[in-house]
Amino acid sequence: MAEFFSVPFGMNISENGTPAIFKLIARSIPTFRLSVTKPKDTYGRKRPYVRFNEPTSIPWDEERERNTGSYPSGHTIRGWGLALVLCEVNPDHQNEILKLGYEWGQSRVITGYHWQSDVNASRLMAAGVFARLHTSEEFLSDMAAAREEYQRLSGGQAAIIELTPTPSATAQTYNINGVPVSESTNGVVIKNGQKVIQQ
């Protein structure tokens, strides 16, 4: 998950390269994951592919997941939970991080492993767990260390590199990775050296 979320986060997250951020993830994500254990056992909801006896786009997981509860979605609570955690570390990239967190859950509906209501419930649960974590001194300490590490490694700026306009590039529009895009591109873009949101 750290590898996937490194892209929208704007910085490679690893145990050696970003130990404080990695520690925050390693200690908080199990809490999100464990919160779905009892509801899964309680409701025992059949997964869509089991209910309709249809194949999924991840066939190698079908037998292993066949008799596990569908409601709520463990993948979604981990993905949305991690997105919430990383947004607090790097709020400048919240749009990109939340987009991946959202897609992480929706992919489970697309593959046939979850109903939409499984995913919706997990996002709600993740918000509750995230709020509860903020009452833990250990979590707050880990968060403070992760934020400090991010600020230090990013030079105290957002991970998006600000482009300095030049006479030949003043009108150019870039995406957050610095790749030229159309002037009408929607979302977060960099225009004339400034980060802007276009809709």
| 144-153: pLDDT as tens digits | 999 999 999 9
Predicted confidence at residue 185, as pLDDT, reads 80
Predicted confidence at residue 155, as pLDDT, reads 82
Residue 26: closest CA among 150, 139, 137: 139
Predicted confidence at residue 164, as pLDDT, reads 42
Task: Mark whether 118 is an active-site residue.
Answer: yes
pLDDT above 50: residue 115: yes
Predicted confidence at residue 183, as pLDDT, reads 81
Predicted confidence at residue 194, as pLDDT, reads 66
Q: Which of 75, 78, 93, 123 is catalytic?
A: 75
Task: Mark whether 75 is an active-site residue.
Answer: yes
Q: Which of 45, 78, 93, 108 is catalytic?
A: 108
Task: Mark whether 47 is an active-site residue.
Answer: no
**pTM, 2 dp:** 0.75
Dist. CA 196–CA 191, nearest whole Å: 7
Predicted confidence at residue 160, as pLDDT, reads 42
**Other CB atoms within 10 A of residue 101 CB:** 25
Q: Which of 47, 114, 123, 142 is catalytic?
A: 114
DSSP codes, 47-95: PHHHHTT---S-GGGHHHHTTS--SS-HHHHHHHHHHHHHHHH-GGGHH
Predicted confidence at residue 181, as pLDDT, reads 76
Predicted confidence at residue 156, as pLDDT, reads 64
Q: What is the pLDDT of residues 61-106, one digit of tens each?
A: 999 999 999 999 999 999 999 999 999 999 999 999 999 999 999 9
Predicted confidence at residue 190, as pLDDT, reads 73
pLDDT above 90: residue 38: yes
**Neighbour-count burial of 152, counting CB atoms closer than 10 A to its CB (0-12 exposed, 13-18 middle, 19+ buried):** exposed
Tokens of 125: 């649960």
**Other CB atoms within 10 A of residue 151 CB:** 13
Dist. CA 69–CA 41, nearest whole Å: 7
Percentage of the chain surpassing pLDDT 90? 76
Q: Which of 47, 93, 118, 123 is catalytic?
A: 118
